[in-house]
Every structure is written in structure tokens, then in C-alpha cells.
Chains A and B, each alone.
Chain A
Amino acid sequence: MPATRIEISKRLIKYLQLSGDQDGQALLPEILAEAEDLIEPWSFKERVSTEDFFKLFHPWAGQSRSICSLLEGSKYVWLMAAGLGPALEERSSEYFEKREHFKGYILNRLGSWLAEESMRKLDREVERQTVLSGFQATRRYSPGYKDFALQAQEVFYSIIRSKRPEIELHLSQAHILMPEKTVTALKGEFSPE
């Protein structure tokens, strides 16, 4: 498992809604240490041609105006995913069961933060790689945003399962990737001309 050092930044404290809460902040290092032990961060990225993307994500991508508009002029599409593994969420639920709600809630919220941070990091990597190749990248977009149906998670799920079978991932009937702290997104790559 890669070592993760979580920085207690002002931004994190604000995200965890602990600004001005000295008692809550005092408990944070212990919870962060616990989170570090529990998470197994992974990330996934793959570039496909825009044509293949629309085939893969048929009919969800074609039906989405926002996706069509976002990818207009894009030659390639990056598929990205990041997650933390199931242990952190399980521990959060255990805390709720034990009626230690503060820890359960902070762990849960921390999971959201870490998953989003992983995605942000991945996003930056893709952005860099795109620029180095002489292209530009669109902003990232995820299933469930506006008219891009959540069913598109099925495609992400299939791709990740086939390329990275070691990753523990499930898809619920409601098209939600489990563990919940799993983030997926796509990004168009287009020529500056």
C-alpha cells in the first residue's frame, strides 16, 4: 500500500466543517492516522478515441447534450477513475453502529475528500500529458452531472473490471459504484487549432 501523508491544511479543516471547533480539531490527527491505515488508493486512466468513446458509452453519451457539447472537436477522450478501497467506509459504518458518530462522520467525509483529491491529482496528470502531446484538455465531467446519465457508470465499471480486476469494485442496481468513495470522470483532448 502506498504511504499517504494527509496534510491538515486549512482547506481540509474547512471541508470537514471543523473551523473554529478546537475539540473536534484535537481529535483529527488520530482519525487521519486511522484513515491512512485503512485506505488503499488506486487510480485508473485510459485514452480512447472520441468515436470509440461514443460507441462504448452508447446510448448515454450520445443522448447527453452536455457531453456532446463538451467533446465537440475532441479527438480523444480520457477515462479516469480513483478510489480508496472499502475499508475506510466499513470503519465509518462501524463507528456509526457503535454510536461514535463524530468519528464515523469525519471518516466518511475524509473519504470523500481523499477520493476527490486522488481524482484531482489524476486530472492534473492527464492535463500535463495532454499538453506535452501538443493538445489541450476540456474540463472533466462525470456520470450523473446534468443530463449525463448515471447508467454510464456501467461502462466505467466494465472497463475497470476488465483492465484492473484486482480492484474491489461493485455496481449497485442504481448504477452507483461501490465502495462509494470511488470517483469517475472523463475529459476531452483536442487540438488547439
Chain B
Amino acid sequence: MVDQGIDELVHDPDIKTRAAELYYGLVDADVIFYFSDIAIQAEAMGAKVTYSRTGMPAVSSPPEAVNVPRASDVSRMRANAQVVSSLAVSFPERFRAALIYGPFTVAGQVVGEETLMRETTSRPQEAEKILEQSFECARSYADLLIEAGANLVWVSDPLAALIAPEDFQKFAGSYLRRLFEHYSGLPGILHICGDTSSIISHMASTGVTGISFDNCMNLLGIEDYVPEDTLIIGNLDPVEVVSQGDPAGIAASTRDLAAVMGIKNNFALSTGCAVPPSAPVENVQSFMHAGRKALEELGPFSSHLAKLQQAVYQGLTQETQQLVQEAGNAGIPALTTIRSGLTRAVRKASACYEAGRCHLPSLLLKVDAFYKGFNMLENHDQQSNGSQPLVLLGTVKGDTHDIGKNLVRIFVQTNGYDVLDLGVNVSAQEFLDAFLADGPVLIGLSAFTSSSKNQLQQIIKTFRDSGYTEIPIIVGGAAVNAEVARRAGADGYGRDAVRAVELANRLVAKSLAKA
């Protein structure tokens, strides 16, 4: 956006304003940020910070003496307030975030993360003292930004994910709650990096308007734990997808996320964490454009699809059929009904299964409801006419067990793949012939008996020796574990049908990206 490096930009409000205005002129985000950095509050409290042209400012050493300055006395904070003030003029219709870092994260930077973590158990009064100072600093900084024109409070507290769930309220939640209560007239958003599934209720009880989830989280698995009046914000991978991907791939991933989460009234599409400064702006534009379009298209149908999704999720077959019929009558495209209604429900159920909240039979009841609806649309949708990626499955030669393989087939199919099931007792040559004839994107081998597991290596070797080194081959079955899979030369091991699909999704995405 501008020629100057980050080390200059963070000190000069004019350069930063120019960069932000240029950026948000190209990227029509609903919430805009003033390009902040995680070191600013710790620096204000006395920590030493290093700057570089290409990297973000970082705390290099703790303060000799901790102080809590007024934000208006800190030059970098004043500079940021000036940027916010300019953005309020340039983009009056958008939300301008007062981005601050949570007391726990800043306290960790000031006294050292390990020291703070230790003090929460050994010297809690000391921990509370520094947390209180960090809180005062955060509040003073937020006051300054709001006074300058920020109209939304966004608190990032990445380090808080390290606190044990039972200690979260005491050492992070209570301070966050005080912050959000202080700005109760403004929308408040909380972001904590990493897996926050065990602290969602604590996060929600801080009084936030919305929770921003890290991209490592499966939103389908946690959506029921977020109150209906709290926004679920997230969570496209900002690094591997947005920063390192290409615009077409980003659009596809964004559409998928929007198709799954867009039927929720309390969903806001975003990245799972901050987008790196190095991300090409056309990538971010692709994300914005694809997301807006997908959500706009889904909008009129979302309430019906939400009902359908719920019916499938509850395993209600008759209601599912009726709602699929009504969806057709209402003009909802078959593919939309499948993706955002039927498939969504199975993906959500799979997420619950993965989290250990339900067993396989319960999942299969939902799958049955899925198929009751899917059968009605199968001939109308694009999933059955070869446009979906094909997965080749079979139980290896010498083995006639099919139940595990059948379960994988079901979950692969309900996740939007076409499946060519070669059945049981399938030889290496038969796998190879089918691969050459049908061009699958992935092959899944099942082995139930210990004697048949030797076949895995032979089949994989046949492919690799024939020069087909790129096709991902995954293995599973009662006779297989991660070590057997590794020895056989497989690209992955699916412990059960649901995990096999997760693995397939990852490997297919990777292999398509390579292609």
C-alpha cells in the first residue's frame, strides 16, 4: 500500500492513515482496523520493543519498572487514535474497531508468559496485581480510540487460551467482562486464538456482542454453545488460505464456509485470526467478494434451510422429506438444499461425534434422515452427475469385511464426493484399473483382518511403482493403525469413518492446491 516499512508505519499516523485508506478503499470490510500491533500496550507499560521493516513489532524484554501511563501520553497510542479519527471521516458508515489486547496477554508480555502462568497458581495476588495494571492500560487506550471515533471494541486476548478453563474467569474473564461492561453502549468482540471450545460459555458471559473464533475451530461443533444473541465470527484460515492461496481457491473455501454457516442468523463471515500484512490484497478482495455473494444468495433461503438442517440433525425423516419438498417448491436450488441443509447437518453431527458427544448409531440416524432428503434430489443435483470429486474405495484382496468400508462410503458421500465403491476382496490391479478409468482424487483402502493388512503395502506399491505418486491413498479398518499405515506407505490413516473424511478433505485440498 505504501513504500515505507512497518517500522516507520507504526510511528507515523499520516503514513498509516494513507495505507489504511488505500487498503479499505479496495477491501469493503464491514469492520475496519487501524493496523495495530500486539506490542503496543506492553511497550506503553515499559517493555522494550523491537521494530523491523517487514516484521510486526515484538516485545524484546520486560520493563525494568511497570507503569500505567495515560494513553494520551503514549506517542504510538496517540498516533493510532489519529488514524482512527481519519478513518471515521473516510469511512463513516463502517465499524471502526478500537482494537486492544486483553489484560492477560499484555500481563504475560510484561512479566513473561511463564512467570504469569506460574503466578496464577503460586502467587495469585501478584498475578492479579499485574492484571489490574494491564486492565487499566487497556481501558485508557480504548477510551482514547473511542474518543477519536472508534465505534466498536475488539479485544484480542491470545494468551488467555493457555489458562485452565476453571481459572479462566478469575484471571481473564473477569477483566474482559469489566472492559465490555465499561463500553456497554458499543458492540464488543472477543477473539482468543487456538481451541477455545472449553471456554466458550465463559467467553460469552463476558457480555460480548460476538466471539471471533480461530480457524482451528470447527464452527459446526461449537455453534450450539454460543448463545443465539451472540455473533459467531469466523473463521477462514488467514495464512494457508487467504495469504498463501490463490484467489480462486480462496473463493471456493469462502463459499464453502458461507454455505455451511450462512444459514445461522448470528454468523458473521471473517478470517480465523488476523490476516498477515504480506497477504496479497487481491486475495482479501476475493474473500470479501465471494463471501458477500454467497451470503446474499443464501439469505432468502436461510430460515427454511435452518429448519431442514435441524430436522436432519434430529434424525426426523418425514419432516426432512417434507422440508426438501417445500424447498423445491420455494425455488431453492437443489445444490443449495444439499449443501446448506442436508450435508450441513451431517457435518455438524460428525463434528459432535469427533468431539465425543455422540456415538456412531446416533450419527447414522441423522445420516438416514439425510438420505431420505438426498434421495429426492439425487437426480437433480450436480453431486450425482460427475461434477463432484470422485473417491475410490474398496476392501483389499483376501478380506470380505465391508461394514467399515461402507461407513466410510456413507460419510464421504454425505460430504459432497462421488464414490466409486469397488466392494470387497479387491486386488491391486483392480484398484489400478479403476483409478485409470475413472480418475479419482483419492483412494481409500480398508483392511479388517491382520492377514489382509499386508495387502495395503502391496497395493500402494503397485501405484507408486507404476508412477502414480501423487494420488493420495488412505487406509483404515480394524487391522490398521497409524504405524501400519506408515509402514504401508499410505498418505494417512483414518481411525474411523468420520476421521477418514476429515483426512480425505485435507489431502484432497492439498493435492488440488498442488495441481
Q: Which residues of A contact B (CB under 8 A)?
A: 16-19, 21, 23-24, 93, 96, 99-102, 105-106, 108, 144, 150, 172-176, 178, 180
B314 CB contacts on chain A under 8 angstroms: 23
Residue from A23, A96, A99, A180 in contact with B401 in the complex, judged by beta carbons closer than 8 Å: A180
Q: Is B382's CB within 8 Å of the partner chain A?
A: no
Q: Can you report 28 residue pairs joining A to B where beta carbons are below 8 Å apart?
A: A18-B362, A23-B314, A23-B365, A24-B361, A96-B406, A101-B407, A101-B410, A102-B367, A105-B360, A105-B364, A105-B407, A106-B361, A108-B403, A144-B449, A150-B451, A172-B398, A172-B400, A173-B398, A174-B398, A174-B400, A174-B425, A174-B449, A174-B451, A174-B452, A176-B399, A176-B400, A176-B401, A178-B400
Q: Nearest chain A CB to B448's CB is how many angstroms away?
A: 9
Q: Is B13's CB within 8 Å of the partner chain A?
A: no
Instruction: Give B365's nearest chain A residue, CB to CB.
Output: A102
Instruction: Give B402's nearest chain A residue, CB to CB.
Output: A93
Q: Which of B119-172 contact A (CB under 8 A)?
A: none
Instruction: Give A105's nearest chain B residue, CB to CB.
Output: B364
Q: Which residues of B contact A (CB under 8 A)?
A: 314-315, 358-362, 364-365, 367-368, 371, 375, 398-403, 406-407, 410, 425, 449-452
Count chain A CB atoms within 10 A of each CB in B365, B401, B410, B450 and give the residue with the most: B365
B402 CB contacts on chain A under 8 angstroms: 93
Bound-state CA distance A180–B403 (Å) is 11
Question: Is the Cβ of B364 less than 8 Å from the Cβ of A102?
Answer: yes
Question: Is the Cβ of A105 less than 8 Å from the Cβ of B403?
Answer: yes
Count chain B CB atoms within 10 A of each CB in A17, A105, A150 and give the residue with the most: A105
Question: Is the Cβ of B361 less than 8 Å from the Cβ of A105?
Answer: yes
Question: Is the Cβ of B449 less than 8 Å from the Cβ of A17?
Answer: no
Known: A17-B361, A174-B452. 14 other contacts (CB 8 A): A18-B361, A21-B358, A21-B365, A23-B362, A24-B362, A99-B368, A101-B364, A101-B367, A102-B365, A105-B361, A105-B364, A144-B450, A150-B451, A174-B399
B449 CB contacts on chain A under 8 angstroms: 144, 150, 174, 176
Bound-state CA distance A100–B407 (Å) is 12
Question: Is the Cβ of B359 less than 8 Å from the Cβ of A18?
Answer: yes
Instruction: Give A180's nearest chain B residue, CB to CB.
Output: B401
Bound-state CA distance A175–B399 (Å) is 9
Instruction: Give B367's nearest chain A residue, CB to CB.
Output: A101
Bound-state CA distance A178–B315 (Å) is 33
Which 5 pairs, one residue from A and one from B, show the smallest C-beta to C-beta distance? A17-B359, A174-B398, A99-B371, A102-B364, A101-B364
Q: Nearest chain A CB to B484's CB is how many angstroms away?
A: 16
Instruction: Give B399's nearest chain A residue, CB to CB.
Output: A174
A19 CB contacts on chain B under 8 angstroms: 359
Instruction: Give B398's nearest chain A residue, CB to CB.
Output: A174
Residue from B358, B368, B451 in contact with A102 in the complex, judged by beta carbons closer than 8 Å: B368
B365 CB contacts on chain A under 8 angstroms: 21, 23-24, 102
B403 CB contacts on chain A under 8 angstroms: 96, 105, 108
Bound-state CA distance A172–B449 (Å) is 12
Instruction: Give A93's nearest chain B residue, CB to CB.
Output: B402
A99 CB contacts on chain B under 8 angstroms: 368, 371, 375
Bound-state CA distance A21–B359 (Å) is 9
